[in-house]
């Protein structure tokens, strides 16, 4: 993992780099020397694979649909030419002439998924026992917790990638005299024009959604025709904005134990396109590639059991990338 990616990973998860040997009760960034395998790891791997998609997985998939790739893969970096249209009749072939010759000059880029993982050292003294024997199945609980933590950090990472590639529409005042949904609709249209298609996503940070509702519930709006906007579901808002879906990003992150919890996104709104198409030249703004790990799934588990403690590692390989940045729009409600 590159230093820049590792530093971001540490900041988002609150994990720490320690020695190759984890410390009791601490979550550390895992490395290759800790990726042990065994029959118990396979059992827990099967447990994770059999779990229904939880809230963290659903939240990540809603924002950034995953596409399966090899660990090294190629994609087309678009050059704003997917919607070229002849306006001079040059597509009409004259007798004896050839058809007009055109070409797309998009760049093919080679990329690689990144290994991301965490290791937890569990002291056997902390585990429930019956007759001095540890109650089985406890490994599943810790492995599921590690997976959820990795899902949370990937969601936050994806939003950072999206923000870095976005074009801001500036600050927008949302109060009892303005029309927040009009601002969102205008943002969606800017994405449509720049991208050449209606965006698949509009996402609202939790603070932005609260400010939007406060604006429409203001006393000045009583008996006003727009007052009902405050009670719109995300599906109703998507229909009003004419966008594929509206996602409320209400996630919380905490970078260190005891630190203040903050919104993953907060007072922001974005519009963009992200499809789950496997096509290399899909014109999405942002994509999430994942490659199978040991066992063929999206997540792998490794377990090293000692006499008084056990190390559990969960890891996966994925990468966020931006094939086409035109049309990623952001507004900052104020």
Q: How confident is the model at residue 35 (pLDDT cuts 50, 70, 90)?
A: very low
Assigned domain for 9 exists: yes
Residue 20 confidence (pLDDT) above 70: no
pLDDT band, residue 32 (cuts 50/70/90): very low
Whether residue 85 is contained in a domain is answered as no
In a domain, 128, yes or no: yes
Q: What is the DSSP letter of 16?
A: B
Please indicate, yes or no, if residue 100 is contained in any of the structural domains.
no
Instruction: CATH number of the domain at 252, please.
Output: 3.90.1690.10
In-domain check, residue 315: yes
For residue 91, being part of any structural domain is answered with no
Which helix (H) or strand (E) segment holds residue 201: the answer is strand 201-205
Span 163-191, pLDDT tens digits: 999 999 889 999 999 999 999 999 999 99
Count of helices and strands (H, E) across the chain: 7, 17
The phi, psi pair for 172, rounded to 5°, reads -125, 130
Which residues does residue 249 pair with via DSSP β-bridges, in sequence order?
A: 205
Please report whether residue 90 resides in a domain.
no
- The count of structural domains within the chain is 1
Interaxial angle between packed helices 39-50 and 138-164, expressed in degrees from 0 to 180 and rounded to the nearest 10:
60
Structural domain range at position 62? 3-79+105-333
Mean pLDDT of all residues in 251-274: 91
pLDDT confidence band for 40 (50 / 70 / 90): low
- Selection from 122, 138, 141 nearest residue 130 by Cα: 138
Q: Is residue 65 within 8 Å of residue 42, measured between CB atoms?
A: no
d(CA 303, CA 311): 6
Q: Looking at the domain assignment, is residue 84 inside a domain?
A: no
């Amino acid at each position: 993992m590159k230093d820049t990616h590792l530093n971001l990973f540490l900041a988002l998860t609150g994990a720490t780099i320690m020695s190759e040997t984890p410390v009791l009760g601490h979550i550390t960034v895992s490395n290759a020397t800790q990726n042990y395998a065994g029959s118990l790891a396979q059992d827990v791997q099967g447990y994770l694979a059999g779990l229904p998609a939880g809230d963290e997985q659903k939240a990540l998939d809603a924002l950034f649909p995953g596409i399966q790739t090899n660990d090294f893969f190629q994609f087309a970096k678009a050059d704003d030419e997917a919607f070229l249209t002849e306006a001079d009749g040059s597509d009409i072939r004259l007798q004896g002439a050839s058809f007009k010759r055109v070409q797309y000059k998009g760049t093919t880029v080679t990329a690689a998924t990144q290994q991301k993982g965490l290791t937890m050292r569990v002291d056997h003294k902390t585990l429930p026992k019956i007759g001095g024997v540890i109650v089985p199945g406890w490994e599943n609980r810790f492995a599921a917790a590690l997976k959820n933590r990795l899902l949370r950090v990937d969601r936050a990472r994806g939003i950072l990638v999206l923000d870095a590639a976005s074009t801001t529409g500036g600050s927008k005042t949302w109060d009892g005299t303005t029309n927040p949904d009009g601002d969102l609709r205008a943002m969606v249209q800017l994405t449509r024009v720049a991208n050449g298609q209606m965006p698949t996503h509009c996402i609202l940070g939790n603070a932005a959604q609260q400010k939007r509702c406060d604006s429409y519930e203001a006393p000045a709006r009583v008996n006003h025709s727009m007052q009902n906007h405050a009670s719109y579901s995300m599906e109703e808002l998507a229909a009003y904005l004419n966008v594929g879906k509206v996602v409320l990003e209400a996630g919380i992150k905490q970078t260190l134990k005891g630190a203040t919890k903050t919104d993953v996104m907060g007072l922001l709104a974005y519009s963009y396109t992200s499809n789950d198409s496997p096509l290399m030249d899909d014109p999405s703004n942002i994509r999430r590639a994942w490659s199978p790990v040991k066992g063929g799934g999206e997540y792998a588990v490794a377990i090293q059991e000692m006499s008084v403690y056990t190390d559990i590692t969960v890891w996966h390989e994925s990468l966020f990338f931006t094939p086409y940045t035109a049309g990623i729009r952001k507004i900052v409600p104020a």
